[in-house]
Amino acid sequence: MGIQWRPMRPKDVRACAEIIAAHPVNGARYRDEIGHLYKVWLGLLGREAFRAVVIESVDASQRSEVIGVGVSAFVSDAFLTHLKTPPYRWVGPELLRRIVRGDDPLLSDQQVRHANAQGGLNLLTWEGALSRDFLNRPEAHTAVFSAFVDQHRGFLLKEMIGHGMSEELLEGTLRSGASLLDSAGHYTDTPDRPIREIFALPHYIGMTRELALSRVGSWVASLFIYEAPRFDFRPSEQRLLLTALHGGTDEELSDKLGISLSAVKKAWGLIYDRVAAHLPGFSSNHDGSSDGISERGKEKKQRLLKYLRDHPEELRPASP
């Protein structure tokens, strides 16, 4: 049995909401409002500001089961200021309440694109939870961590805050470079109470860009490393490339994206033209064959995808 992560799909949302509701810590924070979580997450799915993944176990016959969920959000400056003003509140329930009453603090797609090019984004970790049978499985926690890093590398982050998933992970995150927000709204590296007491009440751990620059080397600070994109891919091209990073032929990409095979091939041609104009030695020719791409074309495709894995900023929404 293997454990992996992937983007959340509409069919996953109910199982993910049920994992939160059944969680011994996270579910209790929502109280009666937990019943709204499924509808709210389903409505947010697909927005740039809503970053959602599922953790799944896959057996030898390739049957999969959703065993965990990770959700984060890009929010407005005003909402972040509200959260950081004592008394503190649990992030997830507060976001849920706001959205249910029509006061959505998540950025629009256009706002995400603008902030990711100018000024930076505020990142909140909404939820991270595993089902009961996997709470003590190290490989499941590794998948949650890998998903979080991969989902947020390459963005121009301004500040990042959230809660600890457990007492142990809270303590580990603090050791990894993050800071605790004290009762006056300032980040501190010296907690004034035991971790157990901090975890039991609403609390925030996080980092600003300024703090990250002084803590180069920690994994938390590494999320603030940013390079401006070179290629200025269009949103449709970014969607194709993000899907291609998970593997698949042109035919499979066509099926996953719900577009024609000819549209996929045309998109590759435009992508290669765009990359060739900026990447020395990269040919813009898209060689076709019966399976959508020749052996030479496959090598070029793999070279591009390898470059994009090392340069995730190219696949993040940003205004040119």
Q: What is the pLDDT of residues 210-250, one digit of tens each?
A: 999 888 888 889 999 999 999 989 999 999 998 898 888 89
Q: What is the pLDDT of residues 77-104, one digit of tens each?
A: 999 999 999 999 999 999 999 999 999 9
Q: Residue 176, by phi and psi: left (phi above 0), alpha (psi -120 to 50) or beta?
A: alpha
Residue 279 has a pLDDT of: 84
Provide the mean pLDDT of the chain.
91
**Strands 157-162 and 205-208, how do they pair?**
antiparallel
Size of the chain, expressed as the number of residues it contains: 320
pLDDT bucket at 288, cuts 50 / 70 / 90: very low
- In DSSP terms, 64 is beta-bridged to 58
**Residue 301 or residue 125, greater confidence:** 125
Side chain identity, residue 71: V
Residue 278 has a pLDDT of: 87
Residue 118 burial (CB count, 10 A)? 10
**Cβ(95)–Cβ(105) under 8 Å?**
yes
Q: Please, what's the b/e burial string for 136-153 (b: 16 or more CB within 10 A of its CB; e: otherwise)?
A: ebeebbebbbebbeebbb
Residue 286 has a pLDDT of: 55
Give domain limits for the chain. 2-222, 235-315
Residue 246 has a pLDDT of: 82
DSSP 133: G
- In DSSP terms, 54 is beta-bridged to 6, 69
Instruction: Give the chain's largest Cα–Cα span.
Output: 65
pLDDT bucket at 60, cuts 50 / 70 / 90: confident
> Mean of the pLDDT values across residues 65-81?
97
| DSSP string for 8-50 | --GGGHHHHHHHHHH-TTHHHHHGGGGGGHHHHHHHHTT-TTE
CATH class of 2-222: alpha beta
- Which two tokens mark 25? 């810590």
Sheet with 50-58, side-by-side order of all strands: 2-7, 50-58, 64-75, 121-130, 157-162, 205-208, 179-181, 187-188
pLDDT at 292 over 60: no
Question: How large a percentage of the chain has pLDDT more than 90?
Answer: 70
Q: What is the pLDDT of residues 248-270, one digit of tens each?
A: 889 999 998 899 999 999 999 99
Residue 161 has a pLDDT of: 96
**Residue 60 or residue 208, greater confidence:** 208
Q: Give CA–CA dist 272/244, Å, rounded.
A: 14
pLDDT at 34 over 90: yes
CATH 1.10.10 is held by the domain 235-315? yes
Please confirm whether the linkage preceding 93 is cis (ω < 30° from 0).
Answer: no
Give this prediction's pTM.
Answer: 0.89
Residue 291 has a pLDDT of: 43
